Amino acid sequence: MKYLISILSLFVFFSCSNNTNTDKQKSATQIKKRIPPVAKPEIPLKINYDSLDVSVRNQIRVLDSIYGRTPYYTFIDNKKIFIVLKGKFNPDSSYYIKMFEGRFKYGIFGEDLKPILPCIYDKVYNPNLTMLNCMEIKKNNKVGLFNFMSKEILEPQFEYIMPSSQTPTNIAYGFKDKNWYKIESNKNFKLLQTYFSPIDLLKTLSFNVHDVKENLMFNPYNYYGNEGPQAGIGVVIVPSYIERLKIMPEVCDDVILPQQTKYPFGTQEMRCKTDTIKSITDKIISFIVSFYHAGADGRGYVEDSKQIVVYNKESKKFDSKNISHEYESYGSLCKPGGYKFINDSLFEKEESNQTDTTKKARYDFENAYTYKLITKDGEIKELQSRRYYNFTKYVEINEDYFNGCFARFMKEDEVKDSNNVWLSDHLTLDDLDVMVNEIYADYGMKFKTDKWKNYFSQFKWYKPLYDNVDNKLSKIDKKNIETIAKEKQKMKVKENDYVKKRKGVFWGAG
């Protein structure tokens, strides 16, 4: 698989070096499609066991012959234990298999190849990430614990389990049936229904796959004979509470270890961390969590995203939504702006491009805005507006909303040199006309001029019902109509002093 990636990398290199002017004019949508997804766990369909690390080669060959695959192994008290996967492989299936959705069952075997934990679980997690001397185990979407020192099993019954602190101890907290349970583990597990708040842990949340260190698992299949590992061999299956929050991928199976200095493929860094905290109400609190992933492949990549996580102290429920997702080292003309709370319940994010695919883009690249509403119950709802300039519906705007990055690809007959885009820093008068008239159109106003009749007739949502809609406008609408009118008045005699239309160059990946 890794050899195939190398070949593909060469192919991409040569194809990029032979681009023509036509290639430069590809749409932003086409360019975005080239961004690679985060890699899924990989299980080879055919194994060359002679190429595996000699220290585990024979044991894995035996376990695979009996059960199916041995995707991970780790060390407990300097002794190897093997995570074995039991299930039937379809030889026609893809390399990329959904490993933890019930298709396969997992168990644990010792160095002597005797079972420690039977192959009846849907997932086995890294040791010591939630509770000391324990591994989380999952079955039927519930998680439990396996104490690998005492061999005691706390059968899966919780939605997720949280450690008592950033450094796991012999105390953890499990959530089930809308209640928290204190879990203690010495030799035996003890459960006690209790009060627990995860807020303090979330305030200081910081998880980095490279901090797992001695609790790493290892991917034996990333070895290729005498050449050694061709990709990162470290494996981290994130704890169930991070999985529940949906703030980072549930598996990272190609962590490049410090001693792996000469091999190009894999995860160089993957981490999440709480950035900011905001109390919405007495019972609702929100967290902004950042996620960072840097990897090495044919080119290298950086993925940087942020999540908003909301916790309801009363119902003890979490909700989380992505608020930004950016890739670097792949072409992007406009950069994303910031994010902020407009008020206690409304969240705004400035995007690097129009994200609503149901709307016909006015530019090939442009800054745009998305909005999320936090309900009184702590649910996060995406707000959708029929308006192209959706901010006029939710926010009392100022002149900052007219400024930004706006660009169109040049037409073929406009390209005279290396320049291939028209850039501007401000919306045009025509844009502002659309902005103000779509406010009226949103309420069903009948337009008198053919220009606006024809423009809004292209939208299925537009229903011309009223000659006047002034009594339907919100306070925000009225204020924004005034602000737009003032901006138009300033621009009338010197539009390009604001717009600053100029030539520019865009180079997309590929």
CA distance 155 to 138: 9
Q: Mean pLDDT, consecutive 10-residue segments, the chain of 510 residues? A: 36 37 37 36 65 89 92 94 83 54 91 96 97 97 96 97 94 96 93 95 94 92 62 92 94 87 80 94 94 84 90 94 68 77 93 79 91 95 95 97 94 92 96 98 97 95 96 98 97 95 79
Cβ density class 291-319: b for 16+ within 10 Å, e for less: bbbbbbbbeebebebbbbbbbbeeeeebb
The whole-number pLDDT of residue 258 equals 83
> Do 44 and 70 contact (CB within 8 A), yes or no?
no
For 361-420, give the DSSP string: PSSSEE-EEEEEEE-TTS-EEEE--SSSSTHHHHS---GGGGEEEEEEEPPGGG--SS--
Collect all residues with Cβ–Cβ distance below 8 Å to 275 and sequence separation of at least 6: 288, 289, 290, 306
Strand-strand pairing, 105-110 and 234-237: unpaired
Longest alpha-carbon distance in the chain:
85
CA distance 497 to 428: 11
CA distance 207 to 166: 9
User: Residue 440's CB: how many other CB atoms inside 10 A?
Assistant: 21
CA distance 351 to 32: 14
The whole-number pLDDT of residue 482 equals 98
The whole-number pLDDT of residue 41 equals 43
User: Residue 257's CB: how many other CB atoms inside 10 A?
Assistant: 16
Residue 91 tokens, joined: 């030889």
CA distance 38 to 82: 26
CA distance 205 to 439: 42
CA distance 45 to 60: 14
> Do 194 and 182 contact (CB within 8 A), yes or no?
yes
> Do 250 and 239 contact (CB within 8 A), yes or no?
no
Q: Any bridge partners for residue 138, and if so which?
A: 123, 143
Name residue, tokens 């998305």.
Answer: 370
Q: Which of 419, 425, 438 is CA-nearest to residue 484? A: 438
**Backbone CA torsion sign across 28, 31, 33, 36:** negative
